[in-house]
Structure 1
Amino acid sequence: MEAAGEPIPLSALQHAVYCLRQAALIHLERLWAENVFTAEGAVLHAVADKGGGRHARGVRRVMSLPLASRRLNLAGVADVVEFPRVGGQETPFPIEYKRGKPKLHRADEVQLCAQGLCLEEMTGAPVPQGALFYAATKRRVVVPFDADLRALTEAAAADLARVLASGETPPPTPLKARCRACSLHDLCRPEAVARPARAWRDRMVAAEVGPR
């Protein structure tokens, strides 16, 4: 597990928003399993992971840029950060590559926003937005880093920090669509683990309120 005080990986926030139990299985219990979704994601990141920088249409672009935030105790690597000039000053614009298409949940947005918060702390410049590039649509989705998303991102970082500090993996809260897509489904066994957890909770409640 991450040692006390050791920075939390930026990618772990995406796991935490998707499923806090998944994040704990990966970052506490060190469990991992590939499926078609994780394999596609690995291929997609291969180009960005080469690192380096270049100019495209007059905009400086840096690939595989290391990021960190002491305030939130986060660290990781941005796939790409563009530095367009706005009013004579470079404004960081993080871009995260994702497989598939835009999701109904906000896990991808939180991971991207966390990159923006790191860039603000590192550069001292405001980072008002970034973009998610989805392989299925081959389009950028611009994500404004508004107050709600910033609050959600900081809450996710705090929740995950508490789980890692506790050393305990949360019980599952099965969500059929997300569980089916999760590469850790067979290791997590949400249905099997959830049933005894619910039974234990029901016994505890019954003991408190007594027979009806």
Structure 2
Amino acid sequence: MSINITDIKQYVYCPRVVYYNYVEPVPRKVSFKMEYARSQHFELNQKEKRRTLKRYNLVEGKRFYGLSVSSEALNLSGKLDILIDTEAESGQRFYPVECKDTDGKIYKNIIYQLVAYAMCIEEMTNTPVKKGYIYIIPEQKAHLIHITDNQKLYVRKITSMIKKIIQEEYYPEPRSKKRCRDCEFQRYCNDCDLPSLEAIKENDKLLMKKLFG
């Protein structure tokens, strides 16, 4: 079973998004925000083709847009916004870039999505990927992200937990009360008494212990 890399981002935001996408699919409307984000991505790609790599602190390289990447070992696949190939013979050659239309904050779910892309590129090219970029569209700024072994380990754990949700039809706890208020799936959850953040974290620890010992 192949997991879409966007599921990594969704799981970190809230595991129930994965549940409602796979186990109990529910109707989803394309919001204005989603349409706007798509148009912003298209406009960015057009501008990127005319720009240098100065904002990435790279001298030269080729850019590939909407590149399909995958990992057979991790059963992951997805479409990366931009891949920069510096054609370097030593050091890091390939740099993944994920573009986001956000308020400027670098959220953890976006970082782990980038890490998953990096892991796919490593497997596909047999080269190390220890750095990547998150490009914040409103800021027109590329943020350098250092990719660590601990982050890669956590992505592996997330993929195992996603598979558990899908295969065992496991109904996970919501991530936090704050996120529930703005979530498009709130009307389907109907939790009268949402758990505290501490309880959610403890539930995650117990689940990981069950999966990995």
Q: What's the TM-score once normalised by structure 1's chain length?
A: 0.75
Taking the aligned partners of 2:189 and 2:35, their CA distance within structure 1 comes to 19
Does 2:183 align with 1:182? yes
Taking the aligned partners of 1:179 and 1:23, their CA distance within structure 2 comes to 14
Q: How far does residue 129 in structure 1 lie from its aligned partner after superposition?
A: 1.1
| 2:120 paired residue among 118, 121, 124 | 118
Q: Which has the higher strand share?
A: 1
Check the 8 A contact 1:13/1:156 in 2, yes or no.
yes
Q: How many residues align?
A: 187
State the structure with more CA Rg: 1
1:147 matched residue in structure 2: 149
Q: What RMSD, in angstroms, separates the aligned Cα atoms of the two structures?
A: 2.9
The code of the aligned residue for 1:64 comes to G
1:18 matched residue in structure 2: 13
When residues 156 and 47 of structure 1 are mapped into structure 2, their CA distance, relative to the original with a 3 A threshold, is farther
Counterparts of 1:77-156 in structure 2, within 5 Å, are 77-87=79-89, 91-103=93-105, 105-156=107-158
Does 2:170 align with 1:168? yes
Q: Which moved more, 1:109-118 or 1:94-103?
A: 94-103
When residues 13 and 121 of structure 1 are mapped into structure 2, their CA distance, relative to the original with a 3 A threshold, is same
Q: How far does residue 28 in structure 1 lie from its aligned partner after superposition?
A: 2.6
Between the two proteins, what is the percent identity of the paired residues?
Answer: 21
Runs of at least 5 residues in structure 2 that lack an aligned partner in the other structure: 54-59, 200-213
When residues 60 and 175 of structure 1 are mapped into structure 2, their CA distance, relative to the original with a 3 A threshold, is same
The SS at the match of 2:128 is coil
Check the 8 A contact 1:83/1:93 in 2, yes or no.
yes
Q: How far does residue 112 in structure 1 lie from its aligned partner after superposition?
A: 0.5
Taking the aligned partners of 2:41 and 2:65, their CA distance within structure 1 comes to 10
Taking the aligned partners of 1:180 and 1:138, their CA distance within structure 2 comes to 29
Runs of at least 5 residues in structure 1 that lack an aligned partner in the other structure: 1-5, 199-212
Taking the aligned partners of 2:103 and 2:89, their CA distance within structure 1 comes to 33
Does 2:8 align with 1:7? no
The code of the aligned residue for 2:41 comes to H
When residues 26 and 44 of structure 1 are mapped into structure 2, their CA distance, relative to the original with a 3 A threshold, is farther
Taking the aligned partners of 1:134 and 1:114, their CA distance within structure 2 comes to 19
Taking the aligned partners of 2:117 and 2:156, their CA distance within structure 1 comes to 12
Moved over 6 A (4+): none
Q: How far does residue 36 in structure 1 lie from its aligned partner after superposition?
A: 4.5
When residues 133 and 85 of structure 1 are mapped into structure 2, their CA distance, relative to the original with a 3 A threshold, is same
Q: How far does residue 184 in structure 1 lie from its aligned partner after superposition?
A: 2.5
